[in-house]
Structures are given as structure tokens and as C-alpha cells.
Amino acid sequence: MSGAKRTFADYEMVVGLEVHVQLLTRTKAFCSCSTAYGSAPNANTCPVCLALPGALPVLNEEAVRLAVIAAHALEATVNETSIFARKNYFYPDLPKGYQISQFDKPLAEHGKLVIGSNADGTPITVRVTRVHMEEDAGKSVHDRYPGVTAIDLNRSGVPLIEIVSEPDMRSSVEAGAYLRALKQVIEYTGVSDANMEEGSLRVDANVSARLRGETKLGTKTEVKNLNSFSGVERALEVEFAHQVEALIEGGEITQQTMLWDATRGEVRPARSKEGSHDYRYFPEPDLPPLQLARAWIDQSRISLPELPNAKRTRFATVYMLPPTDIEVLTANPPTGAYFESVVKEGAEPKAAANWVIRDVLQEVKGGASIDAFPVEPSSLAKLIGMVADNTVSSAAAKTIFAIAVKTRDLPADIAKREGLLQERNEDALAGWVDQVLAENPDVATRFRAGDKKLLGVLVGLVMKASKGRADPKAINQLLSARAAAGE
């Protein structure tokens, strides 16, 4: 069978990712121009980022601090000395004709990121080759003026880190998991807002195909123009399929850069893939080596905030929540903080988790921030407590919550004003039971004859008749007593 034609299943995907993250600074990497998104074209520019003759770069200290935090969060080794270099290439939106980046001596190396677990519980880990600092290029705008490419240099000089992984991912699913885990880490550290729509997080994907069992890497292609994680996954699948088809037919893969067309769901060649020699790297003569004190590096590592994996472990241990709840509650820092505030205000953890996941996040899913959610954690905790002590029913609590979202009023005030306090008066409860039994004689007869399945139906009817005010436990007991007495 050695001469049998190979099939698609004989090949495996090999993926490495290069992720550019815009650092959350007020000013650019080497000048004091604003990094604000959405400004008028070319409004945030100066002689430095326009590369006018005689203008010299000055490194942004805050950019260095954020870059080091990101490196620590990825468990990378931060180098005491790193060197900025000129990466030479020509684009219309690159005013200097080169990009200030780092090459052979980057800021940090040898990191890793856990992206999930295998079936046996062992972690799935992707190695991070390097984290280096660089500046962004400008932006070419092709669709604003017919037949003309416009140049907006607001982004020129914006501080970035590039996070380069090893080719450790073996599927588009793993690549997506890596990107989502990386985005979480970036958000938890406050290094960037990681907003893909605004270009704060951008991905270039390197993909190759090789026979299963081989260790030698195949020829890779790089797919650019990826602006969503789902787009990355789709592009990888499409390009991998192209490569496998070519290899099965005896062809060869050419190392080149590809562009992803999300509308057509296809990749197309852009240019041959550059190697490091094509960029003619050399040390940036206008910037001295970046020297970081070991004590400062160590202190920045100690001051890291709690990271996603640690938070998930803590939520499982402290709050005894199921994994599905934990994944949602730790998806981003504000959601976890809101949940914990509700618990600190006295709510039972599982009840708080249910309300946050089912009700709060439903309200903010349209893009609003949970930080500005109108129902304060203390108010939600009080509402949960009112349900727990039977002050209001679960149905009434939903009504109270909806009103609180619109008015910001306290739950107790809403319950009193809207007549939603749970009624425990025996005469009132008996009146609603009598009403329901009288209005539903067939159901009442079958229930008295011993059809216990109808108890829930009758309780629901009483709750409806009372507009949610009746205590369901008391109604349950009252109906059971009526049935036992044959009433």
C-alpha cells in the first residue's frame, strides 16, 4: 500500500500565530501625539511620527511598563537589555520607509500560555517565542475616494507589542482557543483594550501542512487581513485545505503572504513571503539599548493582577461553582468583579451567578459595559435576598429587576410601590385558591381525585391570579391540605 494515493486525513495542520497588540497608552511610542481612536485623519501627527528631517524619537516609559507586564503574564523571561532596530520596507503609509521594531534582542523570550486541557486533564500549552516592542504603521484607505488611495497617519507610531508563538497549534480550533486565552490575559492585565474592531488586536497566521507523524515543518504561508477570531479559524481551514490538495497532487507549497477575503471565504496570494534578510535589520541609531534594572523587572512581576486561570481556580474553590458558570463569570474582569461584589453584599454565590449570567449579562450583551450597569451589586444582592426569604416570588423578582434596570430604584421600594410583596395572609391565599378551583372545575375534580401532577398546574394558576404575590410554598401546602381533606 506504499504506493497508495494519500488522502486529506494523512495530513495535519501546523499553526503559529503573530499577534499585534496596541498598548493602552495616551501617547505614541516615540512622541507625545495622542493615540485616541476616531480622530480626524492625520490630526494626531507631529514631525516625529511624520518622519520629518531632524526629528528624533524618545521612548514612551509607560509603553515599556505595559509591555513588560504582558511579558510577565505570558511567563516570558524579560531581558535586562533589549535593542530597537530598523525594519526596512516600503509602504505608502510608512512615512520613514522603515519601522522601529526589535529583532535579535527582543524585550522578552520563552513564554507560554495554557489554552485548555486534554481529556486526561493535562494542560494544552502553546509556547511563546518572543514578545517585542515596535511602532505601528499608518493606514491606507482604499474606499473613500474613487480611484485614489488616501493615507491616514494617526496610527503611525502607536506603540505595539508583537507576541509570536511557536508552531504548536494543530487545528484551527486550537488557534482560536489560543487567541481567546491571549485576549483574556491582555484584558486582565490592562495592557490593552484588545478591541479588534478598532485595530487594537490584529492577527497574522502562519500555517503549513505535513504528514502525520513527521516532525519536520512544512513550507508555511502567512495569512493576513484577519479581523476576527472566527475569521482566523475559517482562513486556516481554507488555506490548509489548499495546501493539502496541492501536496496530494504532487505539487509544492510556495512561501508567500496571503490575504483573507471574509466575504468570499477565500485566501489569495499577496506577495512572496519576506525573510528577515529582506528587511535589512540594523540597530536603530537614534535610540540607545533599552536597559531595565533586574529589581524593577522583578517588582513588575510581583505586582501582576490575578490572571484568568488563577481566577477560575479560585472561583471553583471559594464559590463552589460549576465550570460552565466559571467560564462565563471570568470571561472578562468587569463581569467577575460585579459577581464578587454581589456576593460580598450578602448574596448566595450560586444564586448570584444565576442572576448575573441569566439576567445581568442579557441586559449588557448589546455592547454596554457592566461597569455602568444601572442595578448596583448591592441592589441585586438585596433582590436575591428578598427571593430567598420569600419577601417576593421569583416571578415578581424578574419584574422588579426589569424596573430597576430602567429606573435605578431600590428593589424594596419597587416591590412596595408595584404591590409585588409576597402575600402570606391566610385569608388572602385561601381566596385565590377558591377562585382558581372555581374557575377550573375539571382540573379541581381530577386533583381532588388524587391526580398529584395537577398540583403544579394549580399553583401556577394561583400565582397568575395573584399576579405573583402569593407565597408559592404556602399555596402548595394549602392545596395539598385541601386535597387530603377532599375539599
Per cent of the chain over pLDDT 90 is 74
Of the candidates 163, 137, 158, 149, the residue with the CA atom closest to the CA atom of residue 22: 158
Q: What is the pLDDT of residue 3?
A: 62
Q: What is the pLDDT of residue 115?
A: 94
Distance of CA 325 to the CA centre of its chain: 16
Of 5-19, 190-204, 267-281, 384-398, least confident by mean pLDDT is 267-281
pLDDT 10s digits, 212-241:
999 999 999 999 878 899 999 999 999 999
SS3 call for 291: strand
DSSP-assigned letters across all residues of 410-424 = -HHHHHHHTT-SPB-
pLDDT 10s digits, 343-365:
999 999 999 999 999 999 999 87
Given a cut of 90, whether residue 98 has pLDDT beyond it is yes
> In sequence order, what E strands does 24-122 have?
77-78, 81-82, 84-88, 98-102, 108-117
> Rounded to 5 degrees, what are φ and ψ at 159?
-75, 135
269 forms bridges with which residues in the sheet? 258
Q: Residue type at 342?
A: V
Greater confidence, 432 or 161?
A: 161
The whole-angstrom separation of Cα 230 and Cα 36 is: 27
Of the candidates 280, 281, 240, the residue with the CA atom closest to the CA atom of residue 258: 240
Greater confidence, 169 or 487?
A: 169
161 forms bridges with which residues in the sheet? 21, 133
Q: What is the pLDDT of residue 279?
A: 86
For 142, which DSSP code?
Answer: E
User: Which residue bears the cell 421600594?
Assistant: 413
Greater confidence, 253 or 393?
A: 253
DSSP-assigned letters across all residues of 194-235 = --TTTTSEEEEEEEEEEETT--S----EEEEEE-SHHHHHHH
Q: What is the pLDDT of residue 1?
A: 44
Of the candidates 377, 9, 21, 385, the residue with the CA atom closest to the CA atom of residue 213: 9
Q: What is the dihedral of CA 455, 461, 467, 473, to 10 degrees?
A: -10
Q: What number is the average pLDDT over the span 2-29? A: 92
Mean pLDDT of the chain: 92
* Predicted confidence band of residue 369 (pLDDT cuts 50, 70, 90): confident
Q: What is the pTM of this model?
A: 0.86
Residues 6+ apart with CB under 8 A from 349: 319, 320, 321, 343
pLDDT 10s digits, 268-290:
988 766 666 788 999 999 999 99
- Long-range contacts at 412-417 (CB < 8 A, ≥ 24 apart): 412/382, 412/386, 415/386, 415/391
Q: What is the pLDDT of residue 38?
A: 92
The whole-angstrom separation of Cα 246 and Cα 3 is: 18
- Alpha helices (H) in 319-468, listed in sequence order: 323-329, 333-344, 349-355, 361-364, 377-388, 394-407, 411-417, 426-439, 441-448, 454-465
Per cent of the chain over pLDDT 70 is 97
Q: What is the pLDDT of residue 235?
A: 96
Q: What number is the average pLDDT over the span 314-318? A: 97
Q: What is the pLDDT of residue 483?
A: 74
DSSP-assigned letters across all residues of 248-290 = HTT-----EEEEEETTTTEEEEEEEPPPGGGGT-EE-TTS--E
Q: What number is the average pLDDT over the span 372-399? A: 93
In Å, the largest CA–CA distance within the chain is 99
Given a cut of 90, whether residue 445 has pLDDT beyond it is no
